[in-house]
Amino acid sequence: MPYQTVKGTYDLLPETLLKFRELEDLFRHFLELYGYQEIKTPVFEYTGVFQKENDTSDMVTKEMYTFSPNGKDSLTLRPEGTAGVVRSFVENKMYGSPEMPVKLAYVEEMFRHERPQKGRQRQFTQMGIEAIGDKDPLIDAEVIALGYFYIKAIGLNGVKVLLNSLGDNESRLKYKDQLISYFEPHQDELCADCRSRLYKNPLRILDCKVDHGSELIANAPKMVLNEESQIYFDKVKHYLDIMQIPYEIDDKLVRGLDYYTDTVFEVVSTNEASGSQATIFGGGRYDNLIKEMGGPQMSGIGFAIGVERLLILAEAEEIFEAYQTSVDCYAINLNEDPDYMIQVVNDLRNEGLTVEMNYYRRSLKAQFKSSERKNARFVLIIGEDEVKEKTVTLKDTLTKAQETVKKEELSARLQQLMEDYYE
């Protein structure tokens, strides 16, 4: 096999990683603002954590990295964050927490065996939050607010929030039945995928990209929420209005997995740089997941943001400032051995200054070029005379001023020069 990254994976090189970190740091700042705490769950879990019974969707059957190291246990690299966090919530008995909801967050790598494309890798990073253990429209609105204002804080334009309600279990089951009886007589007009969805997850038919004569879908019965769900949804919208978060109701928005109940949302980009992968983040409320995982009947809500996609957009909108690493000093050595230079450099570093040095013998010109590339504020020249006199020739690259300083006084002199400059 060739020595190269596996298809759909990539190296995050220093320059890009800095931008990545910037996005993460800002996200963590928002976690703090909204009172979320970060947790780490294992990269792999028992397959059952991600694969619910009766789930035969593409994503679980074809798109998970599932393996069996001992031929017995079936393990899977996490394809998403929610399941692991909910598992942890239950396993660590956080449902007993005095303060509800428990507000958790993660920034982690996910793995999906999909065909790679722009904005879609097989290993990718998601930042997400989950508010578990309580159900109130205010929590839904707050979750959306965190995501929305985070995206705005990055400086992205052309984003919009899509919002929908799938209703509570009662509303949804009723609606499912309605859809089944509506589509049943028209089965032959549906694509193969939708025919198989008909009984399992008829809501997905509404979101099908294959055109089955748009009339059929357009005329499908609309979801009618029961009174409780309608009031809940209205409150969510009301709170979003108060926070001045613009949103669009999209009744075709059903999300892929059927553990979602009531509020579902997605933030999409209208920037063409995102290509066909326009969803920046998506999430929703889940009333049944915690119980399914062996916890009490509790509800949760969360979302996940794809960091790679954010990065594509952020780069397209050129919101990153040019990064320029720099050092305080660069030490040039003109002597055969580096002993004296090492002492000088070591002292300065121990004083807290960032220092680079020349490692091997090369021309003065080459060393000066290095100092430039490292963007050194000061150049320290160490030749025969300096070693003899226990001094260092100090050149300020901004003022071009040059002076000879005693080795013991170097650190203090540098600090002074830097302070003077900023005055």
Q: Which residues pair with 163 in a beta bridge?
A: 249, 265
Spatial contact of 104 and 129, defined as CB atoms under 8 Å apart: yes
Q: 81 and 289 in contact (C-beta within 8 Å)?
A: no
What six digits make up the tokens of 270? 């209208």
Spatial neighbors of 155 by CB under 8 A, at least 6 apart, are 314, 317, 319
Residue 18 CB, nearest approach to RNA (Å)? 19
Q: Which helix (H) or strand (E) covers residue 393, if one does?
A: strand 391-396
CB closer to RNA, 234 vs 403: 403
Report the interface residues with RNA, using CB under 7 A: 2, 4-10, 50, 57-60, 63-64, 79-80, 82-83, 112, 114-118, 120, 193, 204, 207-210, 255-257, 275-277, 279, 282-283, 304, 334, 362-366, 368-373, 379, 381, 383-386, 393, 395, 397, 400, 402
**Nearer to RNA among residue 135 and residue 255 (C-beta):** 255
Q: Are 297 and 346 in contact (CB under 8 A)?
A: no
Report in angstroms how near the CB of residue 244 gets to RNA at its nearest: 26
To the nearest whole angstrom, how small is the minimum distance from the Cβ of residue 250 to RNA? Answer: 13
C-beta closer to RNA: residue 93 or 209: 209
Please say which residue, 168 or 266, places its beta carbon nearer to RNA: 266
129: closest CA among 113, 144, 151, 111? Answer: 144
Nearer to RNA, 97 or 325 (CB): 325
Amino acid in position 7? K
Q: How far is the CB of 43 from RNA (least distance, A)?
A: 14
Are 154 and 315 within 8 A, CB to CB? no
Residue 238 C-beta: closest distance to RNA, Å: 26
Nearer to RNA, 222 or 369 (CB): 369
Shortest spacing between CB 107 and RNA, in angstroms:
15
Write out the E strands in 47-147.
66-67, 75-77, 102-111, 123-132
